[in-house]
Amino acid sequence: MNRFRSLALLPAAVLLGGCNMVVLAPAGDVAVQQRDLIIVSTVLMLLVIVPVMALTVLFAWRYRHSNKEANYQPDWDHSTQFELVIWAAPLLIIICLGAVTWMGTHLLDPYRPLDRLAAGQPVTQEVAPLRVEVVALDWKWLFIYPDYGIATVNELAAPVDRPIDFSITSSAVMNSFFIPALAGQIYAMPGMQTKLHAVINRAGTYEGFSANYSGAGFSQMKFAFHGLSTADFDTWIADGKKGQGGLDRAAYLQIERPSEAVPVQRFASVDPDLYRRILNRCVEPGKMCMSEMMAIDAKGGLGMAGVYNVLPLEYDKYRRRGSVLGAEPGYVASICTPEEAAAMMASRSLPASVPAGSPLIGSGLQLPGTAVPGFTPVRTPSLTLLTGERRPSNS
């Protein structure tokens, strides 16, 4: 009998062998509070689920067809006491869940600076938070330590019992920054910055990864997070300053290119303005930063003269550096009104079927009502120019 019982439990043991209990046994105070929130919510919901499941079995057994001794009351239809129980108990549980959710939403807000390092251990003014700037790349993670002037790829470290202030963005597509032992996941999006405040309370090496699918190399987009003592962290910083040179804009453009299973890299110095340019999508020389463009727009814009700024800024998942997606780069050769476009078409002796004042056509489309042999419009991401040659953007 014991042998059969062991064989019956074997499939369950195999399935449970693949479980990682880090979410229920974290090493950071934020993750511990999130763990407690999960447990409390589960217990509150089980207060309804367990009695219902038990009563279902009890009623099925007690009022089975073969039980002639069961109390049969075909005319029964109401009980005030029974109604109070079945409505009051769920209502009280919902009130408790609402209170727990409201408190957890505010106290565990990732943008909210920490007010404690652990239970009974408040944050003091003497402890300065560790600032880390995080950039999700294809398919690796870049970590910049602005206070120490170093950067790493696929390796992150922080001292135990010191608040960590993460600033998170992405280079091309949306990812999700997640260290289960430290805190909950938070998204990394291009052109936007998210925040996360956390603390690690127990030394060790923990896994971090992207929790949002982002392409072919997603499964290998992992990194090691080291929780270190203060002395060990100082040693780790010193080792980082002996890294493989500096991370400037040119070096960043190289590591930004899509790559998979990238080993740990350390940079002894980093351009202090690099993260701001990554966030504003203007790392390449000559590109206008989004913050500058928004400042211009806030003052009324630059009219037709400002159209040139749109093309150098274009930088999304269809045009990310190193990608095979998207069309070849084009250039704005001139800007014209619909009337000027109609006059230009007329000067080329186009067929009369073309309506006067036709709107500008989209990239890759033929001219309305025409099929002119040998005429190939020059395509740009936003305009199709009425010329057969490419000219510099300032012509």
Q: What is the pLDDT at residue 302?
A: 66
Which pLDDT score is estimated for 346?
Answer: 73
What does the block give as tokens for 161? Answer: 């019992």
CATH placement of domain 118-279: 2.60.40.420
Among 16-30, 73-87, 249-263, whose mean pLDDT is lowest? 16-30
Please check the confidence at residue 4 and state whether its pLDDT lies above 60: no
The fraction of the chain above a pLDDT of 90, given in percent, is 38
Residue 237 above 90 pLDDT?
yes
Query: Which value, to the nearest 10 degrees, does the dihedral of the CA atoms of residues 263, 269, 272, 277 take?
Result: -30
Per-residue pLDDT tens for 275-293?
999 999 888 887 788 888 8
What is the pLDDT at residue 264? Answer: 93
* Whether residue 269 has pLDDT greater than 60: yes
pLDDT at 141: 96
| Angle value at C-alpha 42, between 81 and 29, nearest 5 degrees | 140
Read off the pLDDT band of 5 (50, 70, 90). low
Tell me the pTM.
Answer: 0.71
The pLDDT of residue 255 = 92
pLDDT tens string 339-370: 777 777 777 654 544 455 545 444 444 555 55
Say yes or no to pLDDT of 252 above 90: yes
Distance CA 68, CA 232 (A): 75
Higher pLDDT, 333 or 11: 11
**Helix/strand/coil percentages in the chain, nearest 5:** 35, 20, 45
What pLDDT, on a 0 to 100 scale, did the predictor assign at position 336?
66
Dihedral of the alpha carbons of 298, 300, 304, 310, in degrees to the nearest 10: 10
In 272-379, DSSP assigns E strands to 378-379
Q: Where are the domains of the chain?
A: 16-63+79-107, 118-279
- β-pairing, 175-179 vs 269-270, is unpaired
